[in-house]
Amino acid sequence: MSNLLIIAVALLGAYALLTLVLTVLFHRLPRNPISEFPDWGTVSDHRIPAKDGGTLEVWRIDPEENPRGIVVFAHGWGRNRDRMVSRARIFSRLGFSAVIHSARDHGGSSPYRFMNAVRFAEDIEAVLDWVNEPVILYGHSAGSAGAVIAAARHPDKVRLLFLEGSYAYTNRSLFSLYRWFNPLFGAVFGPGILFWMNVGYRGMPDKVSPARLAPAVKMPVMIIHGTEDRRFPIRFAKDLRDCFLPGQADFYAAAGAGHSDSSLTEGYLPAVQKFLKKYENVLPVR
């Protein structure tokens, strides 16, 4: 074996080992919880069973008057239930109860070694079982991917589906995320990390891509996306919209917003109200 071949094999082995380590770290970091307690209505704090025998921390916030229905909120990667409080506050003003949980390995919920979109979906499903009535489901970022999975599996439990900061295809979105973190890092190490993820999960990430599950989603959908989102460019959300049946998915492009602040834009509330008005006939009767 020539020296050049030996060097090439050694470099390839080092790259494989390094990207494997980075893949493990990707599942562990970052965890960046925020702190924002619900400051309206009647707040009750619960711990409910998770699929693996652990528990999820859950807030239920009920308005003073009889609610129009329940909205279940699912946060994104690295965050916690507090992240969705500001969105829940908006829906409370429209007369809805809110149920907000922290996914496993996030906030005060039980640890879990390797979280992914399917695990996020399992936690949403645990909350849907606990609520035990049809709901509006609202997912942000990784929570939106879990929400699509849960909605496709349980069309009887979800009347309307909100997807904020979402994407169409998992592999493409993760590669975009790595490049957002650092263009050089993404270009060099992104392919290796994606390789190990797909090996470890046996191709699951692409199989549960929101775009591939969209045909199984039966309820109306509202997609919300910031025009300046650098993690998942808005074209990803438009690609996802086009995977639903014609007319099934409404789209709100939040002008000037990034990945997590679409709900702060001026047009957010009118867009949500218009969507709810359009489909008020499918909301649970109370």
The string of pLDDT tens digits covering residues 35-72 is: 999 999 999 999 999 998 899 999 999 998 889 999 99
Examine the domain organization and report whether 58 and 140 are in the same domain.
Answer: yes
Query: What does the block give as tokens for 277?
Result: 């008005």
Please tell me the distance from the alpha carbon of residue 95 to that of residue 105, in angstroms, as a whole number. 31
Contact predicate 120/74, CB 8 Å = yes
247 contacts: CB under 8 Å, gap ≥ 6: none
Examine the domain organization and report whether 146 and 263 are in the same domain.
Answer: yes
Examine the domain organization and report whether 234 and 159 are in the same domain.
Answer: yes
Residue 157 sits in a domain of what CATH number?
Answer: 3.40.50.1820
Predicted structure pTM score:
0.94
Residue 21, domain extent: 1-30+171-208
Domains in the chain: how many in total? 2
Domain termination site, one of 154, 180, 208: 208
| pLDDT 10s digits, 205-247 | 889 999 999 999 999 999 999 999 999 999 999 999 999 999 9
Query: What does the block give as tokens for 64?
Result: 């003073």
Contact predicate 253/130, CB 8 Å = no
Examine the domain organization and report whether 94 and 152 are in the same domain.
Answer: yes
Q: Angle at Cα 273 formed by Cα 269 and Cα 276, nearest 5°? A: 140
pLDDT band for position 31 (50/70/90)?
A: confident
Residue 13 CB neighbour total at 10 angstroms: 10
| pLDDT 10s digits, 111-140 | 998 899 999 999 999 999 999 999 999 999
Is the pLDDT reported for residue 286 higher than 60? no
